[in-house]
């Protein structure tokens, strides 16, 4: 593990030095593994601590010992039993990130292999918490602050999609939040590990169908991802709709007792309405629910259109009030029912007229002549 003797103010960065004894204490297992990692990485990186561990690898806080810039280094697990998939994910993440440059997307600055051939990515250090951690702490986010975050993530998606990158794993844990000095929240989209670069043949998009490995959580998975359908920018829009729903209500829109049950809800059920106490405006509800339409053709067709509506919403201007498929279905049902009644009524009316005519005709029919024979007197 690297020491950082020039920065003693940050407890995180304290060297492992027992001041009372004046000798270095024995290294813990974690410290040993950090040291081992540091020795594998280019020597300009000091490695401080592990911040997160995922299925494929882990994220460490690090610093360039020359520029003093902090970074997050994502390194593939050494004993990864899914080496090939993990390697592909790292390459995909590095490649996608190299195509993107946006204030709400975490920048990837370097990609390489350690001396033991483990892929690693060096990213800007984001000094904040994930949206998932924030919701866990605060339960949910009030609409005004939530819309600020939504607008930023939507512009990040707009930029990614314009550059033909679909994230495919949008979830609260992949959105980091920081605050500027004036208290403004800034969102940063991370983890393009299963992103798909559209129209590229040199990258194998990794996902449910290609690898048999279930990636991501079913809580935010679009119907087309769950069924191995065509993926495009509208897939991210669906996942983002589920994220927005979760942020506003503190609950995922679809949650079953197991993976299959949750997926089944994505495929067949309408999201539950927001509780009235959440005070979600009709227009915000409309935006979120439109993103979560089952059929991609019923959703916002582009992240740019979604961004525009979120912007208009926050400015108090009109949004694109396209009707939701569920509303259209209900209206169609009502229309069919009304039509049925009208036709029924007309048929009944005509029938009654016909019956009346029939009865009238029957009653006015000339009676057969009655011949009476007058008695001769």
Ligand X SMILES: Nc1ncnc2c1ncn2[C@@H]1O[C@H](COP(=O)(O)OP(=O)(O)O)[C@@H](O)[C@H]1O
Whether 18 is a known active-site residue: answer no
Q: Which residue is nearest to ligand X (CB)?
A: 54
CA end-to-end span of the chain, whole Å? 147
Residue 292 burial by Cβ neighbours in a 10 Å radius (0-12, 13-18, 19+) = buried
∠ Cα 218 130 2 (to 5°):
120
Could you tell me if 189 and 196 are in contact, meaning their C-beta atoms sit under 8 angstroms apart?
no
Q: What are the two backbone dihedrals, phi and then psi, of residue 92, each rounded to the nearest 5 degrees?
A: -60, -45
Using rule CB under 5 A, residue 93 touches Mg ion: no
State in angstroms the smallest separation of the CB of 208 from ligand X. 16
Q: Which does 123 bind (CB under 5 to 8 A by kind): ligand X, Mg ion, none?
A: ligand X
Q: Which does 189 bind (CB under 5 to 8 A by kind): ligand X, Mg ion, none?
A: none
Nearer to ligand X (CB atom), residue 24 or residue 52: 52
Using rule CB under 5 A, residue 236 touches Mg ion: no
Nearer to ligand X (CB atom), residue 60 or residue 300: 60
State in angstroms the smallest separation of the CB of 173 from Mg ion. 5
Q: Which does 303 bind (CB under 5 to 8 A by kind): ligand X, Mg ion, none?
A: none
> Which of left, alpha, beta for 285 (phi over 0: left; psi -120 to 50: alpha)?
alpha
State in angstroms the smallest separation of the CB of 152 from Mg ion. 18
State in angstroms the smallest separation of the CB of 190 from Mg ion. 7
Query: d(Cα 95, Cα 55) in Å, to the nearest integer?
Result: 20
Q: Which does 85 bind (CB under 5 to 8 A by kind): Mg ion, ligand X, none?
A: none
Nearer to ligand X (CB atom), residue 174 or residue 235: 174
- Give one DSSP letter per residue of 165-233, joined into a string: EE-----GGGEEEEE-TTS-EEEEE---TT-EETT-SSS---SHHHHS---S-GGG--HHHHTT----H
Helix (H, G, I), strand (E, B) or coil at 87: helix
Query: d(Cα 345, Cα 358) in Å, to the nearest integer?
Result: 20
Using rule CB under 5 A, residue 174 touches Mg ion: yes
| Active-site residue (options: 6, 110, 138, 169) | 169
The DSSP bridge partners found for residue 61 are 49, 72
Nearer to ligand X (CB atom), residue 167 or residue 299: 167
Restricted to residues 184-203, the positions that interact with Mg ion (CB under 5 A) are: 191
Residues that bind ligand X (CB under 6 A): 51-52, 54, 56, 59, 72, 74, 106, 123-126, 130, 173-174, 176, 190-191, 193
Q: Which does 253 bind (CB under 5 to 8 A by kind): ligand X, Mg ion, none?
A: none
Could you tell me if 62 and 73 are in contact, meaning their C-beta atoms sit under 8 angstroms apart?
yes
Nearer to ligand X (CB atom), residue 73 or residue 291: 73
The residues that are catalytic are 169
**List of residues contacting Mg ion (CB under 5 A):** 174, 191
């Amino acid at each position: 593990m690297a020491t950082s003797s020039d920065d003693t103010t940050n407890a995180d960065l304290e060297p492992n030095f027992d001041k009372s004894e004046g000798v270095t204490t024995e290294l813990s297992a974690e410290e040993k593994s950090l040291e081992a990692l540091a020795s594998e990485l280019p020597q300009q990186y000091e490695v401080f601590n592990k911040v997160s561990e995922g299925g494929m690898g882990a994220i460490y806080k690090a610093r360039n010992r020359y520029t003093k810039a902090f970074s997050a280094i994502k390194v593939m697990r050494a004993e990864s039993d899914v080496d090939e998939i993990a390697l592909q994910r790292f390459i995909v993440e590095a490649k996608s990130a190299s195509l993107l440059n946006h204030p709400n997307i975490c920048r990837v600055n370097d990609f390489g292999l350690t001396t033991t051939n483990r892929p690693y990515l060096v990213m800007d250090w984001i000094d904040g918490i994930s949206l998932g951690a924030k919701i866990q702490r605060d339960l949910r986010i009030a609409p005004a602050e939530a819309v600020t975050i939504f607008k930023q993530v939507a512009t990040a998606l707009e930029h990614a999609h314009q550059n033909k990158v679909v994230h495919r794993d949008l979830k609260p844990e992949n959105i980091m939040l920081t605050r500027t000095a004036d208290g403004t929240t800034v969102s940063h989209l991370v983890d393009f590990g299963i992103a798909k670069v559209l129209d590229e043949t040199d990258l194998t998009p990794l996902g449910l169908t290609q690898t048999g490995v279930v990636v991501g959580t079913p809580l935010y998975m679009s119907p087309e991802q769950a069924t191995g359908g065509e993926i495009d920018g509208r897939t991210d829009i669906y996942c983002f709709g589920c994220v927005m729903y979760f942020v506003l209500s503190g609950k995922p829109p679809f949650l079953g007792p197991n993976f299959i049950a949750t997926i089944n809800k994505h495929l067949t059920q309408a999201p539950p309405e927001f509780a009235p106490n959440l005070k979600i405006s009709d227009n915000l509800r409309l935006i979120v629910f439109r993103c979560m339409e089952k059929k991609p053709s019923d959703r916002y067709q582009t992240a740019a259109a979604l961004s525009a509506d979120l912007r208009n919403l926050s400015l108090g201007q009109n949004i694109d009030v396209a009707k939701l498929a569920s509303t259209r279905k209900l209206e169609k049902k009502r229309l069919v029912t009304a039509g049925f009644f009208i036709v029924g009524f007309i048929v009944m009316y005509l029938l009654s007229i016909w019956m009346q005519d029939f009865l009238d005709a029957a009653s006015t029919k000339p009676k057969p002549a009655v011949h009476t024979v007058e008695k001769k007197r």
